[in-house]
Amino acid sequence: METSTPTLKPKYSIFFPLLVLAIGVFMLINNFSAHPFQTSTLLLSLWPLLFIVGGLDSIYKREGLIGSLIFIGLGTILLMSNLGYSSLANWHFLLRYWPVLIIALGLDIIFPLRSLWVSLLGLLLGFALMIGIVYMVTNTVMQQSKSLSEEQFSVPAAGIEDSNVDLQMSAGTLKIGTNAEPDNRIEGTLNLFDQSRIFKNEYTDEKTGYFSMKSSGIQFLSVQDDSMEFQDSAWNIQLNKNIPTTMDSVLIAGEMTSELSGMQQLDLENTVIFGKSVVILPEKGDVNIYSSVIFGELQVSVPQHANAMILIDTSLDTVDLPAGFKQIGNKIYSPKYDVKGDPVTIKVSVPFGDINIIPQP
């Protein structure tokens, strides 16, 4: 009776040689470019290759397709953004790639990565994914847009001593301000597409008012006009600056701006998965903020006379300090920082991207 010999996985990794090869190719292309990067700038821009090469190496070692293709696709998107071919704020492309994961799941089930031929098929799929992303970024065909509809809402402040707000937006532009009418604890204007849906819930528990809003459905449509730009669903949310507020806001893809001028008492946690977050701090107040961007850019705007402390969440984050700011460990202090003067505190985290501190005149 014959017994089959199991196929062994490769003993060696191709991560390092493939990384060196990829960097060499990009440097060679850069030398022949009409507008070449400086070598140091180019090398710093190529960090997403770690995702791409790691994904290809994982396929080569027959460790599965799903996670590998996620790393390859994400690395390609970030690399295209770093090299100036697309903006990470131009997040719409991210929402088009997910069906590739379904294809990979089917192939993973039908053809587990046990043989050399199936591994080669996985590598070809990985390269095809990279080529497809590059093609879609550089050759996207715009479609006819549909008009946005506008919806306004307001929640009265009567009988409320403090407010609790929960916002969850799948994609688009989210603006948070502090200019609600005195009689309202929260109000807003929503620009929505026909196929998008908004779910709102509001109730009061003793002296605390609760409000939550969540989106679903289509949040963007491509347009055909002279600017060739996308239209987003957009939320403009205004808080009452005189009512103590606890707020949690999440945006999966897009741009979030939190303009907190004049807010007296606020505990805010905002998260952007893909895209950009801009936080404009108040000059003072009992304000505590935790702001994170997983992939993208976080910009903290500090008023000239602000009493503020910025806490960097991880040692991996690097920040260029403006004049007058000082850093001690993982804490950054504004020029007007005074520990006794009710300082505004913001904790920031960007695992993959940039943190920029912008002083306001």
DSSP-derived secondary structure for 52-114: HHHHHHHHHTT--SHHHHHHHHHHHHHHHHHTTSS-TT-GGGGGGSTHHHHHHHHHHHHS-TT
Quote the pLDDT of residue 254: 81
pLDDT in tens, 5-52: 455 555 567 788 888 888 888 887 777 766 677 777 777 778 888 888
Quote the pLDDT of residue 55: 82
CA pair distance 165, 146, nearest whole angstrom:
30
Quote the pLDDT of residue 176: 96
Quote the pLDDT of residue 119: 63
Residues of the chain with pLDDT under 70: 1-12, 33-35, 64-66, 84-123, 125-148, 193-196, 217-232, 314-318
Q: Is the pTM for the entire model greater than 0.75?
A: no
CA pair distance 117, 59, nearest whole angstrom:
12
pLDDT in tens, 45-55: 788 888 888 88
- Per the CB < 8 A criterion, the answer to whether 295 and 273 are in contact is yes
CA nearest to 185, candidates 216, 228, 153, 213: 153
Residue 275: count other Cβ atoms within 10 Å of its Cβ.
27
- Per the CB < 8 A criterion, the answer to whether 137 and 230 are in contact is no
Quote the pLDDT of residue 142: 40
DSSP-derived secondary structure for 315-336: TT--EEPPTT-EEETTEEE-TT
Q: To which residue do tokens 């001028």 refer?
A: 261
Quote the pLDDT of residue 234: 86
CA nearest to 174, candidates 230, 93, 275, 254: 254
Residue 147: count other Cβ atoms within 10 Å of its Cβ.
10
DSSP-derived secondary structure for 99-164: HHHHHHHHHHHHS-TTSHHHHHHHHHHHHHHHHHHHHHHHSPPP------EEEEEEEE-TT-SEEE
Quote the pLDDT of residue 256: 94
Contacts of 298 (CB under 8 A, 6+ apart): 272, 276, 277, 279, 291, 292, 348, 349, 350, 353, 354, 355, 356
